[in-house]
Amino acid sequence: MDIVLVFGREDPFLDNNRYLSRILWEKGLWHALHEWDDRAHSGYYWRRMAPHGAALPMSGLE
């Protein structure tokens, strides 16, 4: 399973997502973390981010 976290730097859940990423690394769970330039916690930004998250290469991280 590939885990990709994509969120905005102005997102109200920014700290929660960074915390989740830290916990995943501490548990040894590989994942990709990408911070978007805008708020991103809305349908408009989700639609813009989704194609990028789906296309992120994860090979070699298992």
4-56 residue pLDDT tens: 888 888 888 889 999 999 999 999 999 988 888 776 667 777 777 777 665 55
Query: What is the tally of structural domains in the chain?
Result: 1
Domain of 27 in residue numbering reads as 4-54
Query: What is the pLDDT at residue 54?
Result: 58
Give yes or no for a contact between 61 and 4, defined as CB atoms under 8 angstroms apart. Answer: no
- Whether 27 is in a domain gets the answer yes
Query: What is the pLDDT at residue 53?
Result: 60
Give yes or no for a contact between 15 and 41, defined as CB atoms under 8 angstroms apart. Answer: no
Residue 51, Cβ density class (10 Å: 0-12 exposed, 13-18 middle, ≥19 buried): exposed
- Whether 10 is in a domain gets the answer yes
pTM score of the predicted model: 0.66
